[in-house]
Structure formats: structure tokens, C-alpha cells
Chains A and B, each alone.
Chain A
Amino acid sequence: MNIVVLIKQVPGSTEIKVDPKTNTLVRDGVEAIVNPFDTYAVEEAVRLKEAQGGTVTVLTMGPPQAAEALKQALSVGADRAILVSDRAFAGADTLATSFTLAAAIRKTGGADIVIAGKQTLDGDTGQVGPEVAMHLKLPFATYVKKIESADGGKLRVERLVEDGYEVLELPTPCVITVVKEINEPRLPSLRGIMAAKKAEIVTWSAADLGEDAKRFGLSGSPTQVVETYVPERVKTGEMITGTVEQQVDRLVEKLKETGVL
């Protein structure tokens, strides 16, 4: 079974502090990590491979330093790593990103299953997985919390919804995005870390993907960010003190004032 896992390198913290004097963002010393949801995707792919054989290819689009994220995936059992990196990918929104990743998946020779995390920590859109599926004309399932079975060209999954979960059966090849509940990612072994250090990261440029270059990056992106700002937190919270009875009385009084009680 050939599995391609889509991963992304993201800032290790989404904490954004505002310098009170200059009213500007402070993001000093933020380390880059593998998007946490993608670690579940990698783990699930490695487990499938261990059970059924095959190869796990991890794929990312990003700047050269994103190779570090791929090495982490290699250290926990992925077999092959591909970095898609080019100035031409700059400014990509989810449509251009998914178009690029889909082209790269095709170039790998295709996959029986493509797995991604449910969303990234920075962008939070959750759109790239489904959009990749559409570019590849494959069925997909989002928010997968369990793979019940994967054989005979069918994948049976449990998919988280608001009030419980659905059980779906998809034909392979297909795309799934996974939630945290699906597994407990393993830690890399020393051998894994050593092997990842030595492993070759295949790098593909825009030209390598053989698509209309205008579909990449900014020119392939229908959306534009016109403004960004740090939300004001003007909450003037009230600390309610006193004995437990006094606290409860005051809280009930306040909740009545605000209309929620």
C-alpha cells in the first residue's frame, strides 16, 4: 500500500503578543514544529504500512528549512520524504497550495491513501485536504478518528461529527484527514533519528511538477489578505471575591444583569 502523508511546518506557538508601546506584534524565538495534527497522520500511515506493507512518503510544500519537518517524519517510520520548494509557490492560498500538493502526489506515482491532519495550527482552515482530493478527483473523508479496516480496495473509517461519529466506506485511492483521537504518535527511536539524519530529502521545484506555472503561488490564488490585526482584548473582567456564598450571590446577580440567566 502506498501512502502519502501531507505535512506542514508551523510556528511552535500561536501565541502572539502585542508590544504595548508600539502596538506591534512580537514573535521572538518561536521554534518551528511539525503541525501537531500531521503527527497523527504520519503515525496512522506508519501503522498501516506496518500492518499491510507498502511505503510511506511524506510530502511538504515550504521553504528549504521545512526539510527539518520531513526528517522528523522519517525518524518515526516514514520511508521517503519530498520537499516541494520554489519561489513560484510564494503567496499560495489553499487553492494554489492544494493544486501544488496534488501535482506532487501525481509525480510520486500516486497513492492508495493520502493522509493529512484535520487542519494546521497556523492557518486553521482545514481546506487543503479536501481540495487536494478534488484536484486528484478522489473521494475523501474529513475528521477521521479511526480506520476500522483497510483491505480489498476499501477503507472503512469513523468520522467525527458534532454529536457523535459516522461510519463511512470509501474506495481506494482516497484522501482522509485525521483528528487527534485516532492514535498516540510514537517517539522517534535513536536508530530512527540517525537514519533520518542521513536520509536524502528529494526536492522538487515548480518546473519539476510540470504544470501550468500560473496555477502556483500568488497567481494561482483567488483570495488575498487585505488586512491583519491583533484582536483587541478590551475585557475589563471583574474579580468576584468574598466567601463562597458571597461569590455565588454576586455571580448570579451579574449573570442576571447580562441576561444569560
Chain B
Amino acid sequence: MAARITKKCIGCGVCVDVCPYGALELFEGQAIVSGHCTVCGSCAEVCPANAIEIEGAASEGLGAQDKAAWSGVWVFAEREGDGFAPVVRELLTKGRALGDELGEKVTAVLLGSGVTDWAGELIAAGADDVLVVDHLDLADPLIEPYMRTLVELVVNRKPAIMLAGATTLGRSVMPAVAAVLETGLTADCTALAIDSETRLLRQTRPTFGGNLMATIVCPERRPQMATVRPHVFQAGEPDPGRQGTTTVVEMDKAVFTTATTFMTKHVELAEGERLEDADVIIAGGRGMGKPESLTLLNDLAKLFDGAVGASRPPVDEGWLPYVHQVGQTGKTVGPKLYLACGISGAIQHTAGMATSEIVVAINRDADAPIFELADFGLVGDVNEILPALIERLKKERG
């Protein structure tokens, strides 16, 4: 099983450049495929000569849809506590821009119990319409009722685009919805744009731990679905004067049935400590040296009104719980400021924080790879620099 190069190959080497597996090379003016090929299809899609064969044509095995009948941009209004997850406002701002470009409506979809009154907030944030399904059985975010409710709404109302935050809920419910609808879903997008020619949604996402960006489209199936990383898009100012409509949709009770029981939830991080929402993350690594030094991170996080993160070693040492871990095996974050303290910057860590706006690195080792990523680098001992920084900030605030 591998991509097959046909005689049409012109030896341009474009495929060699895009192959994420290094499985292609040029040999005597023709591309050749090695055993590293995983048949991901990246090469065939960029080949200017159509010389690479991967059997079949995209999505031809899925049913035909009348694409003209699908219009509008939907945003899943994920709840968090007594409000919305911050990503919802970001998505409504971005969704508004996409909707304006297409000349189509923006609709927020709100699921929950006793939430109908919340719709106004979504209109102020950019929605033209809010679809509300308000039912006791939607109080806890359980996959099956959420999935079936969303599928039901999509099938009946046919949006062209559906966006959700790349949160634990979004990353769980959206794949279920996409699979049932037999449509495409692009995970963790960091850029969205409308192709001016085809009017398709161009969805750009990092792969290989952020080392390669891929732009993906879903040409034949609707809706075009994407989960979007929090903090990537800027949320606009809410406009309380905006006009919009709220539609409360009744569903057959069968939609809400599930064999899964929500037993309980244990909150380990108070509001404001959640890494995904934080504007500032103060993160510590092996270079913190001792568990006692973690109080420095906590003190500094308080001064910045931020959250505490960590690379893998302090978590493995048991200095702080796994919910704080940032990186490939932990959380993916993108705050305005990421302060990396005693973190060397191995790819396993940077994969989880590379999209941060401003990175400050403090490390004793001037050659630590984290400095390559840092906007500001300080070579030195975190146990000397952090106390001085804390003092300085305290003095400043009086």
C-alpha cells in the first residue's frame, strides 16, 4: 500500500517537499516512493501533473448532496459554569466575519436546561439567530443527547458550516456528529478563511505537534465542520443593541435518551485556574529544582491573574497534578503570555504551547531550545529571577 507515481511525473519535486513522512525523493528526474509512505494523500493533492495515484476520487463513495440547499454559519455555544466558554465569543466574532463574506446568516446553537434567557448574550456577540434546545436532560453535557440533538437540528436546517471550540466537549461531540452525518471534520483549527473562488471553508490546522500546517477543505459534504482552538481568534466587543431572533426548538424526548449516566464531577481547578482559559500561564519545569519552588509559580500567577502550568517532569515527580501539564501528553494552550520557567523546551512540551502570543523563557542553560521560541529570554536561575520579579511586580502594584 503506497502512493503510486505514474509516467505523468514531471520531476518538479513538489510532492517531495510536502511529504510529512519523508517518503518521496527524486531519482533520475522522477519521484519515487519509499516504504515510509503511509498513503496520507498529501502528495497527490499538490501534484501539478496529477501524476500520483491514490485509488478513487475524494468523497465519491459518500452520498450526493444538493450543496446549494445548505447555507449559514453555525457556532456551538458551549456552556461553562453559569456562562459560555470564552471560545464561543471568539467563534461568533470569526463566524460573523465568515458569514458576512458569504452573505449568509450566523446562528448560535445553545443546548442546556434553563438556558433560553441566555440567548441575548449570543446575539450581542454576533449571532443573527439563536437556536435553543432547552431540556432538563441536556443539563449535563452527555455525548448521545448532545450528538442527536445537533444531528437533528443540522438535518432539518442545513447549515453550510458548523464551528465548535476544540475543548474536551467539542473534541468529543463534534466527531460523533460528523460521523453520523458522514461529513468532514477538521480538528484544532488555527485559521479559517473562505476561498473566494469555490466559497469553500479553508480550515488550517497544525499537525505533527505544530511542526506542519495543513489546510483542509470539505468540498462535497455538508456541513463543513471544524473545531477551533481557544485563544486563536480575538473576540470582538459585545454589542447589546444588536438585533437577532431566538428560536426555541422542541424535540421528541427520544432524542435525549442515553444509557450513559453522569455520576459526578470533581473540580480540581477553580475558575481562573483553568489553563485553557488563562490569558497568562506561568509554567515550571525540571529547572525549578524542588517542589517548594512551585510557590513562586503560584505567587507569580496570582500577580498576573493567570494559571499555573508545568512540563512533564514536575508532574511525573508528583509536585503538582496532571491537570497542570502542558504539552503533547497534556494540554494544548495558547495564552497571551507564556512564562516558561526552567523548561528546556523539548518538542513534547512546545507542541502544547507553541501558539502562545508572547513567550518568555527563563533557563540556566543558554542553549536550551526554549530560547528559539522565546520572544524574551533570560539566562539565569529561576529561583533567583522569579523572587526578584515577584518583588518588582508587588512594589509596582503598591
A residues sitting closer than 8 Å to B (CB atoms) are: 11, 13-16, 23-28, 30, 32, 36-37, 62-65, 85-95, 98, 121-127, 129-131, 133-135, 139-143, 145, 156, 160-171, 179-181, 212-231, 233, 235, 237-241, 244-245, 247-249, 251-252, 254-255, 258, 260-261
Residue B155 at the chain A interface, CB threshold 8 Å: no
Contact of A125 with B258 in the complex, beta carbons under 8 Å: no
Bound together, the chains give a CA A244 to CA B373 distance in angstroms of: 22
Say yes or no: A248-B389 contact (C-beta < 8 A), given A134-B176, A180-B329, A218-B57: yes
Say yes or no: A122-B58 contact (C-beta < 8 A), given A26-B22, A91-B39, A228-B20: no
9 further A-B pairs in the complex, CB-CB below 8 A; given A11-B21, A166-B265, A169-B261: A14-B351, A28-B22, A125-B187, A161-B265, A170-B259, A171-B259, A219-B61, A235-B375, A261-B304
Q: Please name all residues of chain B whose beta carbon is closer than 8 Å to the beta carbon of A140 when the two chains form the complex.
A: 143, 172, 176
Bound together, the chains give a CA A161 to CA B265 distance in angstroms of: 9
Taken residue by residue from 313 to 346, chain B's Cβ proximity to chain A (1 for < 8 Å, 0 otherwise) reads as: 0000000001100001110000011000000000
Contact of B216 with A169 in the complex, beta carbons under 8 Å: no
Bound together, the chains give a CA A239 to CA B44 distance in angstroms of: 43
Contact of A164 with B168 in the complex, beta carbons under 8 Å: no
Contact of A228 with B215 in the complex, beta carbons under 8 Å: yes
Contact of B375 with A64 in the complex, beta carbons under 8 Å: no
Residue B210 at the chain A interface, CB threshold 8 Å: yes
Would you list 25 pairs from A and B whose C-beta atoms are within 8 A, ordered by A residue?
A16-B212, A26-B22, A27-B20, A28-B22, A91-B39, A91-B44, A122-B207, A125-B175, A125-B187, A130-B143, A130-B176, A142-B171, A163-B267, A163-B268, A163-B274, A164-B269, A180-B330, A218-B56, A219-B58, A220-B61, A223-B216, A223-B217, A233-B372, A251-B360, A260-B336
Residue B76 at the chain A interface, CB threshold 8 Å: no
- Identify B1's interface contact among A24, A63, A126, CB under 8 A: A63
User: Which of B101-109, B112-120, B380-388 makes up part of the contact surface?
Assistant: B380-388
Whole-angstrom distance from the CB of B264 to the nearest CB of chain A?
Answer: 5
Interface residue tally of chain B, by bracket?
Answer: 35 or more
Say yes or no: A254-B376 contact (C-beta < 8 A), given A222-B59, A223-B216, A229-B213: yes
Contact of A219 with B55 in the complex, beta carbons under 8 Å: yes
Residue B41 at the chain A interface, CB threshold 8 Å: yes
Contact of B179 with A139 in the complex, beta carbons under 8 Å: no
Taken residue by residue from 329 to 373, chain B's Cβ proximity to chain A (1 for < 8 Å, 0 otherwise) reads as: 110000011000000000100010000011010000000000111
Residue B284 at the chain A interface, CB threshold 8 Å: no
Whole-angstrom distance from the CB of A20 to the nearest CB of chain B?
Answer: 14
Contact of B55 with A217 in the complex, beta carbons under 8 Å: yes
Whole-angstrom distance from the CB of B385 to the nearest CB of chain A?
Answer: 6
Closest 7 CB pairs of A and B: A214-B61, A27-B22, A219-B56, A91-B41, A222-B184, A223-B184, A134-B179
Nearest A residue (CB) for B322: A181
Contact of A127 with B274 in the complex, beta carbons under 8 Å: no
Contact of A27 with B21 in the complex, beta carbons under 8 Å: yes
List the count of A-B residue pairs having beta carbons below 8 Å apart: 348
Nearest A residue (CB) for B384: A244
Whole-angstrom distance from the CB of A54 to the nearest CB of chain B?
Answer: 21
Residue B378 at the chain A interface, CB threshold 8 Å: yes
Q: Please name all residues of chain B whose beta carbon is closer than 8 Å to the beta carbon of A125 when the two chains form the complex.
A: 175, 187-188
Taken residue by residue from 29 to 60, chain B's Cβ proximity to chain A (1 for < 8 Å, 0 otherwise) reads as: 00000011111111011100000001111111
Residue B182 at the chain A interface, CB threshold 8 Å: yes
Contact of B39 with A24 in the complex, beta carbons under 8 Å: no
Taken residue by residue from 198 to 220, chain B's Cβ proximity to chain A (1 for < 8 Å, 0 otherwise) reads as: 00001000111111111111111
Nearest B residue (CB) for A131: B179
Taken residue by residue from 290 to 328, chain B's Cβ proximity to chain A (1 for < 8 Å, 0 otherwise) reads as: 000000000000001000000000000000001100001
Contact of A127 with B178 in the complex, beta carbons under 8 Å: yes
Contact of A251 with B376 in the complex, beta carbons under 8 Å: yes
Whole-angstrom distance from the CB of A161 to the nearest CB of chain B?
Answer: 5
Bound together, the chains give a CA A258 to CA B277 distance in angstroms of: 20
Whole-angstrom distance from the CB of A144 to the nearest CB of chain B?
Answer: 11
Q: Please name all residues of chain A whose beta carbon is closer than 8 Å to the beta carbon of B219 when the two chains form the complex.
A: 224
Contact of B42 with A216 in the complex, beta carbons under 8 Å: no
